[in-house]
Structure 1
Amino acid sequence: MPVTDSDPVDAILEQWRRERPDLDVSPMGVIGRISRLGDELDARLRPTFAASGLGEGEFDVLATLRRSGPGAELTPGELTASMMVTSGAVSKRLDRLVGAGLVHRRSSDQDARSRLVSLTEQGRGLVDAAVEAHLANEERLLAGLSPEERRQLAGLLRRLTLSLPAG
């Protein structure tokens, strides 16, 4: 599919400019594109996770444990904070991953009420293969941007994220 200089958001902006020339609709150009792009990227990332037998949430748990270092044990609360989802969502994901033999839960030596979660060898192998496939997919999705454009975009998105008011 050829790349053009116009996208569907341009048409929306033009319609608003025509109907409400008194408004600055430029924020819609940024927010609309980020929103649409987020949806499109999610749809293009899910099949890679599914090919490993994982949902995006399960991949997130495994990846969080894997990037925490060899032998890392995290509490469900630490996983929840790292992934920015509800504790109930993490609990359901952990139940599925324990059932699949990909993570192990044990009681903490310091506090029997607290549970620690770690990768099993099977989980580590699966997430290592899945992250390689995930990165290859992301590389493919970003192929239309030069390395410098990627750095600029990442910097601008970081800046936007950090500038948002707490909420």
Structure 2
Amino acid sequence: MSRNYHLSYLDVKRNFRNTSNVPKARKTGERDHVDSFLEEIGADLPPDLDLTVEGIVDRIGGINRRIKRMHDETLDQLGLTVSDWHVLTALRWAGKPYRRKAGELARRADLTSGAMTSRLDALEKEGLVRRLRDPADRRSVLVELTENGRKKHEQTMGIQAQKEALLAEALTDREKEQLNALLRRVMVTLEDRYPGKHD
């Protein structure tokens, strides 16, 4: 189901209060808001609705929202927008000399040409990128990551990595490996049916 449909469907499920056949957390300390939600919606739902699957979906969605919040906080702290980050990342992963054609960069950053021009103006003003003429095609513009831009990208990744470490605080090394393996299996199943735009 789509994200918007899923959210509205959850609102409908919150109207149910029968708590039979709902899996309980093993310990009070292990409960999260999803456990409480599943207990609220109960069993008066379509028989083909698997509450265990609902728990997985709701937890993945909740984790994703919190990761996005972490990332937004990091970017705001460093004075970057999400689009700025996409541009810097696309250049950084181009490899030395960290340069791409403006059109290719816009596609990779998922920006229109107008939005790309606006972001490049701002990033160039901050000294994070520079625009160059393509020696192979004078009609084309190359965008290159400056040394300051590379440092800003690495600084952002470092701060974000510290925040993302919170994800694993409750897990042992073995549990992290197991979780990675399970999530990989889910991704492999979904990728063929619902390929990501930038996967």
- Determine the structure 1 residue equivalent to 2:70: 44
Establish whether residue 166 from structure 1 lines up as the match of residue 191 from structure 2: no
- Determine the structure 1 residue equivalent to 2:129: 103
Which of the two has higher C-alpha Rg? 2
| Counterpart pick for 1:28 among 54, 59, 63 | 54
TM score, norm. by length of structure 2: 0.67
Judged with a 3 Å threshold, the aligned counterparts in structure 2 of structure 1 residues 91 and 161 are, in CA distance, closer, same or farther, namely farther
Judged with a 3 Å threshold, the aligned counterparts in structure 2 of structure 1 residues 95 and 30 are, in CA distance, closer, same or farther, namely farther
Letter in 2 for 1:28: E
- Determine the structure 1 residue equivalent to 2:84: 58
Structure 1: which 5+ residue stretches go unaligned? none
Displacement of 1:102: 0.6
Q: Aligned partners of 2:176 and 2:139: how far apart in 1?
A: 45
Judged with a 3 Å threshold, the aligned counterparts in structure 2 of structure 1 residues 154 and 21 are, in CA distance, closer, same or farther, namely same
Q: Aligned partners of 1:151 and 1:79: how far apart in 2?
A: 34
Q: Aligned partners of 1:95 and 1:49: how far apart in 2?
A: 18
Judged with a 3 Å threshold, the aligned counterparts in structure 2 of structure 1 residues 30 and 64 are, in CA distance, closer, same or farther, namely same
| Counterpart pick for 2:42 among 17, 20, 26 | 17
Letter in 2 for 1:142: A
Displacement of 1:97: 1.3
TM score, norm. by length of structure 1: 0.78
Q: Secondary structure at the match of 1:18?
A: coil
Q: Aligned partners of 1:50 and 1:95: how far apart in 2?
A: 19
Q: Aligned partners of 1:116 and 1:152: how far apart in 2?
A: 43
Indicate the percent of aligned positions where both proteins have the same amino acid: 30
Is the 1:76–1:87 Cα contact (8 Å) retained in structure 2? no
Structure 2: which 5+ residue stretches go unaligned? 1-27
- Determine the structure 1 residue equivalent to 2:143: 117
Q: Secondary structure at the match of 2:42?
A: helix
